[in-house]
Amino acid sequence: MSQGITMMGVYVDDQDEALAFYVDKLGLRVQADVRNGSYRWLTVQHPEQPGFELGLIMPGPPTHDEATARTLRAMVAKGAMPPLILSVADCRASHARMRALGVEFTQEPIERFGTVDAGFRDPFGNGWKMIQLRATKP
């Protein structure tokens, strides 16, 4: 039997706004967009990582009651969730491109640990670290 992690989710307040951010600004693509009444299953993925999806999940039914959903939205807005990691070939170039698209950066690119990294947030407060891939030796 094959096993592994193929998806993780981030909480968002507005799936249409999340879709615009993750597709238009980060360059991900829609993998699934399925509706069942008021429920929407929405996932995106990196074009070079077809085996892994990121779920853009609204806190609320059927998983959460309204009080829990409010708490989750408040926690995300405060940046309390663990950061996600985006690997890029060139952190400075990606930073410049994303900043021009209106991405809110919390940390400018900095060299450390033998690479370059920067920090940004999605429109809902989810934190991201963008880390430049290390050069591989031939």
10-25 tens-digit pLDDT: 999 999 999 999 999 9
Is there a contact between 56 and 19 (Cβ–Cβ < 8 Å)? yes
Q: pLDDT tens across 79-125, in order?
A: 999 999 999 999 999 999 999 999 999 999 999 989 999 999 999 99
Task: Read off the DSSP letter of residue 22.
Answer: I
| pTM recorded for the entire structure | 0.90
Rounded to the nearest angstrom, the gap between the alpha carbon of residue 78 and the centroid of all alpha carbons in its chain is 16
Show the domains of the chain with their CATH numbers: 7-132 (3.10.180.10)
- Please give the angle made by the CA atoms of 37, 12 and 74, to the nearest 5 degrees: 120
> Which of 62, 73, 56 minimizes the C-alpha distance to 7?
56
Q: How many angstroms from the chain centroid is the CA of residue 27?
A: 11
